[in-house]
Amino acid sequence: MKLSLCFVCICIMQLTNGAPAESSLNDEEKEALQLINDLNEEMNSLSNRNYVAEWAFASNITDENEKHKNEVQAETAKQTRELVKKLQKFNWREFKNEDLKRQYKLSTKLGYAILDDDDFKDLLENLSKMETNYAKVKICAHLNRTKCDLSLEPHIQTIIVRSRDPEELKYTWTQWYDAAGKPVRKNFEKYIELKTKAAKLSNYTSGAEEWLDEYEDETFEKQVEDVLTDLKPFYEQLHGYVRWRLRQKYGDLHVSEKGPIPIHLLGNIWGQTWGEIANLVAPFPNKPMVNVNAEMKAQGITPLKMFQMGDEFFQSINMTKLPKSFWENSILEKPKDGRELVCHASAWDFYSQDDVRIKQCTEVTQEQLSVVHHELGHIQYFLQYQHLPHVYRSGANPGFHEAVGDVLALSVSTPKHLEKIGLLKDYKPDEEARINQLFLTALDKVAFLPFAYTMDKYRWQILRGELKPEEWNCGFWKLRDQYSGLEPPVKRTEDDFDAPAKYHISADVEYLRYFVSFIIQFQFYKAACVKSGQYEPGNPELPLDNCDFYGSPEAGNAFKEMLSLGASKPWPDAMEVFTGERKMSGAALREYFEPLMNWLKAENEKNKVHIGWEKSDKCG
Ligand code: X95
Ligand code: ZN
């Protein structure tokens, strides 16, 4: 195939996103490069068609939209199989050029598309049933059993956050789990069967290995366990203190001295973050602990304003402004037209140019402001890598994508920033207020770690055949007990099926990404704070936990350098560009929480707080 000189050099430039090719291409590689460049547009349009149909369904759940989505996805899966067959004609594992080899390695992963038509359709139908069930759940109010139109967002979440009545919390918790989990047991069984079949067809030993392959490091599972073990003493101190304070509030009847904490009292229906009960367990109740909910409402802040605030932060650090199409196409509030939709917030890339959207049933609260930043972090990453070949338009690893927005949210949540934007007034900082602030952040960031780990540990055990179907429910609660020291508020049995009551388990969304994110986001945050001069090790005037890198182009430019790589390099290379490190490490998180760790240990000793928990007897 005659290639004009300038065309080859353009290809090579595009191939290695600007960097000169490591080695000149041999004939087979030249042909392979030509092919993958030619197919790039088709890969983008296949993804675009997929997400257009998915968006139509997720933003308006009807039988027709579900059917249409499943048909489109079956059709694009077939076309993807054809396309990959062409790529697989090349012996790409022998390629000399690293970048071309990487593009082929990533492009030839079929995922579920490796299934034949019938199995693929069967899998899609079961996935849709689980997601639809979750989205449509309505339960009755504890205090008025004839009022049975309560949905998760906003009604059930609001009860779990605000109620201090253990009976109301217990009833609401149980209604949700009974309605969101058990009805999809059969669908979940079929999903596991077909997920397993697809993984084995791709020569993975199980679906767990297919998920873990996204981290491109066969020691990654071990690295995760080591980080969790390293932070376990800190978690146990936090858990012990919170249980001790909850006992003071609810008494021995509801909270035992040495047993697991019942989940319904933690301000989150899954017990994944505990920030919503901060005012109940604050270390220094007479000192400030930042809560801007009232101020947000008093100032008439709207969901739209919350997204404009997030957009403004990204622009202030010289990152990309949201395109017009974002504001035109996004759904930023729960529609009032009574339609059923997936309210669980999410960010969408339509693999075109600037077509990026968020769908979120936004409420005006501080917690939702961090969700807004979380979702905008995905959008920013989409925009930073949209110039790359299709196959590189994803995160360096799934954890990177989850971390971007949370890094900004860490900065936004500081008293320094909240004062800057007028949400926090007459804040009197002192060492006790600082402990309160660190404690509030730990209730979200540290409590979350064992939760995130168990969401995938559970599914790995099932996918690896280590957990038999007749023990799927108590196997779930056993992990929640072992790693988090939490338990259901009521007895559960194998007649129940509670795991799909968590969105990501109903929606087949891998969860290890959030564990990774909650570790690396502190590495990224520390890098941004150093680059912006907002943190100096050892300088009490510039501590890490009050760093606000808002308005710093130095921080944003370094962030962009990493994000604009997309998946074009292994994630250690991407991390190194921003932080200088090549490993996921809990050190930055420990450095951030150092003062709190010391305070908790001393306080728990002083109060003779029991550390650790006895086995739960709530499932069996
Ligand atoms: C996300 O990661 C997910 C959506 C298809 C693929 C569809 C992937 C994942 C998804 C959906 O953006 N009120 N949503 C619910 C807010 C949900 C926001 O799952 C998510 C988000 O619920 O386990 C602030 C708040 C910072 C929450 C990590 C985990 N978020 C969850 C989480 C956060 C989080 C949390 N960082
Ligand atoms: Zn996310």
Q: Residues 406-437: pLDDT tens digits?
A: 999 999 999 999 999 999 999 999 999 999 99
Residue 555 to residue 531: CA distance in whole angstroms: 5
- Radius of gyration of the CA atoms of the chain, in A: 25
User: Does the beta carbon of 374 lie inside 6 Å of ligand 1?
Assistant: yes
User: Does the beta carbon of 276 lie inside 6 Å of ligand 1?
Assistant: no
Whole-number Å distance, alpha carbon 401 to ligand 2 midpoint, is 7
- The ligand 1 atom at the shortest distance from the C-alpha of residue 157 is 13
Whole-number Å distance, alpha carbon 269 to ligand 1 midpoint, is 14
CB atoms within 10 A of CB 200: 14
Is the separation of the CB atoms in 71 and 84 below 8 Å? Answer: no
Is the separation of the CB atoms in 542 and 527 below 8 Å? Answer: no
Instruction: For tokens 């905008």, name the residue.
Output: 376
Average pLDDT over residues 226-255: 98
Model confidence band, residue 54 (pLDDT cutoffs 50, 70, 90): very high
Residue 300 to residue 423: CA distance in whole angstroms: 12
Instruction: Give whole-number Cα distances, 605 to 232, 391, 437, in Å.
Output: 17, 53, 21
CB atoms within 10 A of CB 167: 13
- The ligand 1 atom at the shortest distance from the C-alpha of residue 347 is 12
Where does residue 265 rank: exposed (0-12), middle (13-18), buried (19+ CB within 10 A)? Answer: buried
Tell me the three state secondary structure of residue 281: helix
User: Does the beta carbon of 509 lie inside 6 Å of ligand 1?
Assistant: yes
β-strand 356-359 against 346-349: which pairing, if any? antiparallel
User: Does the beta carbon of 359 lie inside 6 Å of ligand 1?
Assistant: no
Whole-number Å distance, alpha carbon 42 to ligand 1 midpoint, is 30
Respond yes or no: is residue 401 known to be catalytic. no
Choose among 619, 616, 620: nearest CA to 261: 616
Q: Which two tokens stand for residue 3?
A: 């290639």
pLDDT in tens, 188-210: 999 999 999 999 999 999 999 99
Instruction: Give whole-number Cα distances, 557 to 132, 321, 389, in Å.
Output: 41, 14, 22
> In the 8-state DSSP scheme, what is residue 139?
B
Whole-number Å distance, alpha carbon 373 to ligand 2 midpoint, is 10
pLDDT in tens, 432-459: 999 999 999 999 999 999 999 999 999 9
Model confidence band, residue 6 (pLDDT cutoffs 50, 70, 90): very low
Look at residue 531 in the predicted model and tell me its pLDDT: 98
User: Does the beta carbon of 373 lie inside 6 Å of ligand 1?
Assistant: no
Handedness of CA 213, 449, 179, 344 (dihedral sign): negative
- The ligand 1 atom at the shortest distance from the C-alpha of residue 378 is 12
Percent share of the chain, pLDDT over 90: 96
Residue 579 to residue 547: CA distance in whole angstroms: 16
β-strand 356-359 against 261-262: which pairing, if any? unpaired
Query: Which residue has its alpha carbon closest to ligand 1 atom 32?
Result: 514
Look at residue 23 in the predicted model and tell me its pLDDT: 59
User: Does the beta carbon of 370 lie inside 6 Å of ligand 1?
Assistant: yes
Choose among 36, 101, 62: nearest CA to 568: 101
Asked if pLDDT for residue 494 goes beyond 90, the answer is yes
Is the separation of the CB atoms in 219 and 231 below 8 Å? Answer: no
Residue 156 to residue 179: CA distance in whole angstroms: 13
Is the separation of the CB atoms in 163 and 84 below 8 Å? Answer: no
Look at residue 20 in the predicted model and tell me its pLDDT: 34
Asked if pLDDT for residue 18 goes beyond 50, the answer is no
Model confidence band, residue 3 (pLDDT cutoffs 50, 70, 90): very low
Query: Which residue has its alpha carbon closest to ligand 1 atom 17?
Result: 345
Q: Which two tokens stand for residue 508?
A: 């087949």
- Within 8 A by CB and 6+ apart from 194, the residues are 112, 115, 119, 122, 123, 126
> In the 8-state DSSP scheme, what is residue 609?
-
Respond yes or no: is residue 375 known to be catalytic. yes
Tell me the three state secondary structure of residue 291: coil
Q: Which two tokens stand for residue 390?
A: 């299709």
Q: H/E/C letters for each residue in 22-62? A: CCCCCHHHHHHHHHHHHCHHHHHHHHHHHHHHHHHHHCCCC
Whole-number Å distance, alpha carbon 504 to ligand 1 midpoint, is 8
Instruction: For tokens 């220094």, name the residue.
Output: 284
**Ligand of minimum distance to the alpha carbon of 508:** 1
Average pLDDT over residues 557-571: 98
Helix (H) or strand (E) holding 358: strand 356-359
Give me the chain's average pLDDT, please.
96
The angle subtended at Cα 23 by Cα 19 and Cα 26, nearest 5°, is: 125
Q: Which long-range contacts (CB under 8 A, 24 or more apart) does 242-245 make?
A: 242/274, 242/281, 242/443, 242/447, 243/485, 243/609, 243/610, 243/613, 244/604, 244/607, 244/609, 244/610, 245/280, 245/281
Q: Please identify which of the residues 66, 363, 375, 487 carries the catalytic annotation.
A: 375
Model confidence band, residue 24 (pLDDT cutoffs 50, 70, 90): confident
Tell me the three state secondary structure of residue 182: helix
Average pLDDT over residues 65-76: 98
Percent share of the chain, pLDDT over 70: 96
Instruction: Name which of 3-17, 230-244, 362-376, 439-453 the model is least confident about.
Output: 3-17
Residue 190 to residue 463: CA distance in whole angstroms: 12
Instruction: Name which of 20-24, 31-35, 230-234 the model is least confident about.
Output: 20-24
Task: Provide the phi-psi class of 342: left if phi over 0, else alpha when psi is between -120 and 50, else beta.
Answer: beta
Q: Which two tokens stand for residue 559?
A: 């962030």
Average pLDDT over residues 570-597: 98
> In the 8-state DSSP scheme, what is residue 214?
G
Please choose from 54, 346, 365 the residue to mutate so as to test ligand 1's pocket, defined by most ligand atoms within 8 A of CB: 346
Tell me the three state secondary structure of residue 619: strand
Look at residue 21 in the predicted model and tell me its pLDDT: 53
Amino acid 595 reads: P
